[in-house]
Structure 1
Amino acid sequence: MDLHLMERQLKALSDANRLILLSCLKLGEVCVCDFVEVLRITQPAVSQHLKKLEEAGIITSRKLGTWKHYRLVDNQTPIVQAVLEELEERVTGNCSADTI
């Protein structure tokens, strides 16, 4: 495994808020607005956490209307997969952007 990738992924996984985001994503795609509700922090702060996970190759995003929706990438490294298996699934709210 690429050491630089491993370093980025381990750093991305070393934050409680990012682990909560990943636990939400275990159930499928989630809108950024739902993450704001779950973490109870500002949208820019949520976006910074999501950016770290995306840069580490753990999640991916797509734009839907004015919102971004995030999901786990299909093929995770063994390190990330082991962490995901330990996280309990967390249900998020239903963003009104889902109907756009």
Structure 2
Amino acid sequence: MTKTTIEMEKAALILKLLGDKTRLTMVKLLENNDCCVCEFVEIFQASQPSISQHLRKLRDVGLVKEDRRGQWIFYSINKNHEYFPFVEQILGQLPDQEDKLKELEKNGTRITCC
């Protein structure tokens, strides 16, 4: 695997974005799952506008992408982003967050919008 060098400014921006626990957890969840805003609202017990703002910040730098499915928008990590290998190294150091999605499934609130 070729080692990608990342500009200091871009690295600082990405680290600043991921320095927020909510956004960091979102990106970790998106590493292996597509998620809808409503799922994040349930997981973080936060307002839809707050969750959307977090996702917009991640989308604006290209780390997260949107996929419209009918009237719903699902988010996923952009594994084609030039700095994904940098982000992937960070995510590899973090604990699994799958229990949050399993809890939604258990409560019957996984993808409630669909």
TM value normalised by structure 1: 0.82
Larger radius of gyration: 2
1:14 aligns with 2:19: yes
Note the alpha carbon deviations across 1:70-97, whole angstroms, 9 max, x for none: 0011135243111111222323232134
1:69 aligns with 2:74: yes
1:54 aligns with 2:70: no
Using CA pairs under 8 Å that are at least 6 residues apart, name the structure with larger relative contact order, 1 or 2. 1
After superposing on structure 2, the runs of 4+ consecutive aligned residues of structure 1 that deviate more than 4 Å are none
Identity rate, percent = 31
Structure 2 residues not aligned, in runs of 5+:
1-5, 105-109
Worse overlay, 89-98 or 50-59: 89-98
Structure 1 residues not aligned, in runs of 5+:
none
TM value normalised by structure 2: 0.73
Note the alpha carbon deviations across 1:49-69, whole angstroms, 9 max, x for none: 111111222111112223210
- The answer to whether the 8 A contact 1:25-1:72 is kept is yes
Q: What is the aligned-residue RMSD (CA, Å)?
A: 1.8
How far is 1:23 from its partner? 2.0
Which residue matches 1:95? 111
Whole-Å separation in 1 of the counterparts to 2:47 and 2:19: 20
How far is 1:4 from its partner? 4.0
Number of positions where the alignment pairs a residue of Structure 1 with one of Structure 2:
98
